[in-house]
Amino acid sequence: MLASNVLLLCLLATVSANKTLSSIATTLADNSATLAFNLYQNMAKDKDIENILISPVVVASSLGLVALGGKSNTASQVKTVLSAASVKDEQLHSGLSELLTEVSNPKARNVTWKISNRFYGPSSVSFVDDFLKSSKKHYNYDHSKINFRDKRSAVKAINDWASKSTDGKLPEVTKDVEKTDGAMIINAMFYKPHWNEQFHHKMVDNRGFLVHRSFTVSVPMMHRTGIYGFLDDTTNKLLVLEMPLAHKMSSLVLIMPYHVESLERVEKLLTRQQLNTWVSAMEQKAVAISLPKVSMEVSHNLQKHLAELGLTEAVDKAKADLSNISGKKDLYLSNVFHASAMEWDTEGNPPDTSIFGTDQLKNPKLFYADHPFVFLVKDNKTNSILFMGRLIRPKGDKMRDEL
Ligand SMILES: *[C@@H]1O[C@H](CO)[C@@H](O)[C@H](O)[C@H]1NC(C)=O
Ligand SMILES: *[C@@H]1O[C@H](CO)[C@@H](O)[C@H](O)[C@H]1NC(C)=O
Ligand SMILES: *[C@@H]1O[C@H](CO)[C@@H](O)[C@H](O)[C@H]1NC(C)=O
Ligand SMILES: *[C@@H]1O[C@H](CO)[C@@H](O)[C@H](O)[C@H]1NC(C)=O
């Protein structure tokens, strides 16, 4: 009885998710994956950034918002950054909207992914009605005016909004706002993957995570052995692991050097093509996995990075034309805060117990993630990248140096 109900639920979830993506959304999914690597590589060069956590499909939809509010070059640069120069405006907006709705559907995908977006204008701005309506419709943005004369309470208002819209999971977007004379885009997200096969909640203990050779922090680690996509790339001295998330509609791919080292070497290899090469070379193997059970809260100001990828006008006070937002040429994009909390936890669907104690799980490969690695949440249906990042420094207390 219970089993058949579960089966029915699974069927329902599958049916509701089984809608083919339009060709324009398919193209934009592909383009957003290219954007993912470009943006990641641009950020990885920045010596001030440690952990990285970005959602390329959400960044793409924020770019869509700029196209919606922009005119002439300010708008057309968005399409260049998205490699979508020939796509018509209306198609761009409906395609990006369709893509994000598909990949963030919590029921069909059995993930927790709360996405809140807000566009802040200076208190002098008056928003055009049309923009308010279409940005809500396509990109689920709400709007607010913000007065930086009292900077401390303005920053607090932003952080309070982010915290509230993520149920407290993301307490802070920023400590300070440097440029206060423009408009701001803010994404505040909470993401929690739901494994296709859960970890046992009791298979968790404290271990050391080597941030670098001489700095170790104590983190809870979760452990499980199962059948996973695995590749030992002996040429590049790294391991690649693919862990399906619920319903196998997306998966987490981890890329980790054999030993603790700066990720620079691995990141030099990291292209979309290389990822495809790794993924297609993976084999299903028994793997004993240990992963930090931590929550990552990371906030980036993408303004500079997007400018370096070609969005130069929207962020330039002298050149920006965002007059479809306010009816006047009086706005530029001074900040693009992209902030997410990602919770790495044990939860997931019940594992396939029939293979426990069988030969299939004998002599597992080891994937012991106790040092920095790169990861991606890859969507199995749209080929988009839901998240991309690196974990260098998890939260945790410093451990006494080993002798
Ligand atoms: C959708 O469902 C049909 C029938 O159940 C199946 O043949 C088809 O392969 C499914 N399509 C996708 C994209 O999952
Ligand atoms: C921007 O405004 C112009 C009219 O000023 C309008 O023709 C155009 O469709 C608007 N663009 C968008 C994306 O709303
Ligand atoms: C995922 O599915 C499980 C079991 O069906 C359920 O308990 C859980 O609440 C679901 N989570 C989400 C986020 O939908
Ligand atoms: C992707 O989806 C297909 C079809 O549902 C499934 O067979 C495959 O295992 C999935 N891949 C991953 C990595 O989850």
Residue to mutate, 12, 14, 18, 248, ligand 1, most ligand atoms under 8 Å from C-beta: 18
Q: Provide the β-strand partners of residue 350.
A: none
307: CB partners within 8 A, 6+ apart: 315, 316
From 76, 77, 324, 325, give the residue whose CB has the most ligand 2 atoms within 8 Å, as the site to mutate.
324
Question: Residue whose CA is closest, atom 1 of ligand 1?
Answer: 18
Note the ligand closest to the C-alpha atom of 75: 2
pTM of the model: 0.91
Residue 296 belongs to what H/E stretch?
strand 295-301
Which ligand has the nearest atom to the CA of 102?
1
Task: Look up residue 78 and give its DSSP letter.
Answer: H
92 within ligand 2 shell (Cβ under 6 A)? no
Closest approach atom of ligand 4 to CA 196:
14
Phi, psi of 343 (to 5 degrees): -105, 115
Q: 61-81: string of b/e by CB count within 10 Å (b at 16+)? A: bbbbbbbbbbeeebbebbbeb
> Which atom of ligand 3 is nearest to 109's Cα?
14
CA-closest residue to ligand 1 atom 5:
15
Give dist(CA 1, CA 331) in Å, integer.
Answer: 60
Q: What is the CATH number of domain 195-293+349-392?
A: 2.30.39.10
What does the block give as tokens for 323?
């007059």
Answer whether 112 contacts ligand 3 (Cβ < 6 A).
yes
Residue ID of nearest Cα to ligand 2 atom 1: 324
The token pair at 206 is 């404290």
Ligand with minimal distance to 227 CA: 4
H-state helical runs in 249-385 = 264-269, 272-281, 303-308, 323-326
Task: Reply yes or no on domain 24-193+296-343 having CATH 3.30.497.10.
Answer: yes
Report pLDDT for 360. 87
What residues line ligand 4, using a CB cutoff of 6 Å? 242, 244, 248, 251, 380
Nearest residue (by CA) to ligand 1, atom 7, is 18
Which residue is closest in CA terms to ligand 3's atom 2? 110
Q: Identify the H or E element spanning 225.
A: strand 215-233
In the chain, what are the domain boundaries? 24-193+296-343, 195-293+349-392
Residue 151 has what pLDDT? 93
For ligand 2, say whether the CB of 341 is within 6 Å of any of its atoms: no
Here the tokens at position 291 are 């992963």
Q: Would you give per-residue pLDDT tens digits along the chain (403 residues)?
A: 455 555 555 555 544 556 789 999 999 999 999 999 999 999 999 999 999 999 999 999 999 999 999 999 999 999 999 999 999 999 999 999 999 999 999 888 888 999 999 999 999 999 999 999 999 999 999 999 999 999 999 999 999 999 999 999 999 999 999 999 999 999 999 999 999 999 999 999 999 999 999 999 999 999 999 999 999 999 999 999 999 998 899 999 999 999 999 999 999 999 999 999 999 999 999 999 999 999 999 999 999 999 999 999 999 999 999 999 999 999 999 999 999 999 999 999 999 888 888 888 999 999 999 999 999 999 999 999 999 999 999 999 998 765 4
